[in-house]
Amino acid sequence: MPIGFRAITSFERPDPHLVEALGKIPSSNIGDCVRRMYCMFGGIRPFNKRPLSGVAFTVKVPSGDNLVAQMALDYASPGDIIVVDGAGYPDRALVGGMMLTYAESRGLGGFVVNGAVRDLDDIAASPLPVFAMSATPLGPYREGPGEMNVPVVCGGQVVMPGDILVGDSDGIVVIPRKDAPTVLELARQNLAKEQEEMQSMRTGAYSSELHKETFQRDFLRHGGSFV
């Protein structure tokens, strides 16, 4: 099997109930529960307003070539998120309107591209979420090489096939498959606590004295001083 030009078509998947449950929690709450260590950055942003949640189906391609990304559309399962690591290359789009339309017909869950996309009107009209770094009208080559379902890097985070991705207007958080049950429980607790505190602020039950005490304590604990 030629290293660098391989299509791995199967991998271990998480429990679908975990994927569904995590998809109902904001990315920021999940990010807080993984010590802010697994959130994508580096310009990965939403190109439409569709929430994203699903299992990562990873693709690694050379700069400006999407042959293996096109192949992935036929091997991914319904609901999968196609994660394309194009090395952050901004000058050739790796995903566009035709790929998006075909992915929709196959019931896929969306795209995350460490690189560029195009056909922004099609993306805006699509029900599938698309996250990427940039946009350009210039299309890709289709010559290869590339690999399917290997570890990739996207937005500064390693993404493994079978990881769970949750994305919204804030961005994307990566949940390693083996950690998903623990992260789900922590994120549910985090969200409930946050909503309770926000409600107490709205009703006036959360006093300015309590806010001052909380953050002044942290300020002093970390070495701050008043002058």
Residues 19 and 61 in one domain: yes
227 located within any domain: no
Residues 72 and 13 in one domain: yes
Q: How far apart are CA 216 and CA 104, in angstroms?
A: 51
Residues 204 and 155 in one domain: no
Range of the domain at 139: 5-180
pLDDT category, 1, cuts 50, 70, 90?
A: low
**pLDDT given at position 2:** 84
Residues 56 and 91 in one domain: yes
Residues 25 and 122 in one domain: yes
65 located within any domain: yes
Percent of the chain, pLDDT > 70?
A: 100
What is the CATH number for 120?
A: 3.50.30.40
Residues 128 and 194 in one domain: no
pTM, two decimal places: 0.94
pLDDT digits (tens, 9 = 90+) for 99-157: 999 999 999 999 999 999 999 999 999 999 999 999 999 999 999 999 999 999 999 99
Residues 150 and 204 in one domain: no
- Number of domains the chain contains: 2
Q: What distances in angstroms separate CA 63 from CA 27, 67, 74, 114, 179, one per listed residue?
A: 29, 11, 22, 10, 32
- Both tokens assigned to 87: 């090395």
pLDDT category, 53, cuts 50, 70, 90?
A: very high
CA 107-109-53 angle, 5° bins:
145
Q: How far apart are CA 112 and CA 178, in angstroms?
A: 21
226 located within any domain: no
